[in-house]
Amino acid sequence: MLILKRSALLLFIAFSLAGCATAPTYRQAAVPAFVSGGIYHIVGSGQNLYRISKAYGVDMKEVMRANNIRDPNQIGVGEKLFIPKTSTAICIRPYPREKQRSLEVLVGHRQNRVHWRTITIHHSGTKAGNAESFDRNHRRRHMGGLFYHFVIGNGSDSGDGEVEVGWRWSRQREVNRKKDIQICLVGNFNEQDLTQAQFESLLQLIKILRKEYNISLSGIRSHKDVGISECPGKNFPYRKLMDALRNS
């Protein structure tokens, strides 16, 4: 009986934490002594490790090893990456994304839609990232791809305040809680603050979702309100958000 209780507790904790991306991992400056040649690449906006490695024709694992990277999602704009077996720096286009449309158009669903009743707010727990990088991370973690319905960027790998729509929203799929919309803001809000653009996008997105699905203010909650988690972090301005929603 004790073993069964412990197993149930572990499963509860696992599902409660499932929405947050991997916590950021810090690394020392790369010392690629084991390679004979290479160049340094400066990470640009909209670039990620997968696209950089592919552009240079170097296996991503080699780039990770050369730079002492444990999590491929943990690279930021302006960071220097050592690219082994390479002699010439090249220009890398950011991940192609469709032209930003109005939130009303992004959110709108009239066919086969779920009767959404609640909204849960997450932070990614990482200082950089976007829907594409989180999707890869969640697939590796056997979470069925991007966990969230919406991702709001912080200017690292997507635009500051840019709202990205996940496949679960496009297909109107629930995640681990019935009729619950999952919104993730890129950032680690135990160490960072939301950008103003992120706050404004989150506010507008929630206002549209509330109007579209008649979601009450009591249905707006943070991840820590529904599970064992610090998400979305101690610096997340929940009270400010709720005050803004009440006064809108």
Specify the residue for token string 């932070």. Answer: 123
pLDDT tens-digit map of 72-131: 766 766 778 899 888 777 776 655 554 445 676 667 765 557 889 999 999 999 999 998
Pick from 58, 55, 57: nearest CA to 46:
55
Strand partners, 40: 82
Are 86 and 203 in a shared domain?
A: no
pLDDT tens-digit map of 194-243: 999 999 999 999 999 999 899 999 999 999 998 878 999 999 999 999 99
Are 103 and 188 in a shared domain?
A: yes
Distance CA 180, CA 117 (A): 6
Q: Answer yes or no: is 164 within a domain.
A: yes
| Residue span of the structural domain in which 214 resides | 98-246
| Residue where a domain stops, chosen among 96, 124, 142 | 96
pTM: predicted TM-score of the whole model, two decimal places: 0.65
Are 88 and 159 in a shared domain?
A: no
What kind and span of H or E run contains 165?
strand 160-165
What 8-state DSSP symbol labels residue 227? S
Exposed/middle/buried for residue 130 (C-beta within 10 Å: 0-12, 13-18, 19+): buried
**C-beta separation of 186 from 129 below 8 A:** yes
Q: What are phi and psi of 40, to 5 degrees?
A: -100, 135
Are 102 and 181 in a shared domain?
A: yes
Cis peptide before 232 (omega within 30 of 0): yes
